[in-house]
């Protein structure tokens, strides 16, 4: 019975996806405004889907000087409840708690993470904890959770870092194929909120263009919801909008 129910759900999902896909011209490069509006229009899941953007860049991440990586606070946030873990000590503990951190501690948190506990979305650490972080690098690193000074997650101002993460700070990094995937909001966001977030991310990525990158930098852009089809954004229009 359960297997039969699963097949029925799959068929329903496939039908809805095909209906959504039929509304999208796969060969067309949409304007930013039209693409974001269409993304909301073709979303069909019965939950508040994430809206994601994929940038295909003309870089070779195998070369360190062409690795695009950074973080920024999106103007409209992400719509996601981010669970923040702060590894710190002394007065910083109270500062982190006051800023809204979900978990705060020192050795006890490190030991807990070493034991496999990962009930959080971001990790922030004060600089004096760097020595302890080495013990959990193998746990956090593969999951993209290792605190990094360049991303603002290793900082003496833990309160500011917590507030930024809670407000919707996102990290971006080129994958092996030169693609950057980032969540820019939720299906429930207004087109204006999605565009504000998109433009902030686009600007950051364009400004991060390495001097050693040759040829076309912004090759293609696609936007989609969690379950919806991809929609192409005109990369020339996007590059000219920054």
- Average of per-residue pLDDT values in the chain: 91
Looking at the predicted structure, is the pLDDT value of residue 70 above 80?
Answer: yes
* pLDDT above 70 for 2: no
Among 185, 230, 216, 201, which residue's Cα sits nearest to residue 79? 185
Give me the mean pLDDT over the 193-203 stretch: 96
The arithmetic mean of pLDDT across residues 68-86, rounded, is 91
Res. 130: pLDDT tops 80: yes
For residue 108, give the 3-state DSSP assignment: helix
Domains and CATH numbers, the chain: 24-78+169-240 (3.30.190.20), 84-166 (3.40.50.790)
pTM here is 0.78
The pLDDT tens digits for 54-69 are 999 999 988 988 999 8
Counting Cβ atoms within 10 Å, is residue 54 exposed (0-12), middle (13-18) or buried (19+)? middle
pLDDT band at 103 (very low <50, low <70, confident <90, very high): very high
What are the residues whose beta carbons fall under 8 Å from the beta carbon of 27, sequence distance 6 or more?
Answer: none
Structure tokens at 88: 């710190």
What value does the mean pLDDT take over residues 93-122? 95
């Amino acid at each position: 019975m359960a297997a039969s129910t699963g097949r029925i759900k799959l068929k329903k999902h496939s039908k809805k996806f095909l209906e959504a896909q039929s509304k999208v011209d796969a060969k067309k490069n949409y304007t930013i405004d039209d693409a974001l509006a269409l993304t909301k229009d073709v979303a069909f899941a019965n939950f508040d889907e994430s809206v994601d953007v994929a940038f295909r860049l003309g870089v070779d991440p195998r070369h360190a000087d062409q690795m695009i990586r950074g973080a920024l606070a999106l103007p409209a946030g992400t719509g996601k409840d981010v669970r923040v873990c702060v590894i710190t000590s002394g007065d910083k503990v109270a500062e982190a708690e006051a800023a809204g951190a979900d978990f705060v501690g020192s050795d006890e948190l490190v030991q807990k993470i070493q034991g496999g506990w990962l009930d959080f979305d971001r990790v922030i650490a004060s600089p004096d904890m760097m020595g302890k972080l080495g013990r959990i690098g193998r746990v956090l690193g593969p999951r993209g959770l290792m605190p990094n000074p360049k991303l603002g997650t290793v900082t003496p101002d833990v309160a500011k870092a917590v507030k930024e993460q809670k407000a919707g700070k996102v990290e971006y990094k080129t994958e092996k194929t030169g693609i950057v995937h980032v969540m820019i909001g939720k299906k429930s966001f207004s087109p204006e909120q999605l565009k504000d977030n998109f433009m902030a991310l686009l600007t950051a990525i364009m400004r991060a263009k390495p001097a050693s990158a040759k040829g076309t930098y912004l090759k293609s852009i696609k936007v989609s919801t969690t379950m919806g089809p991809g929609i192409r954004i005109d990369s020339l229009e996007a590059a000219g909008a920054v």
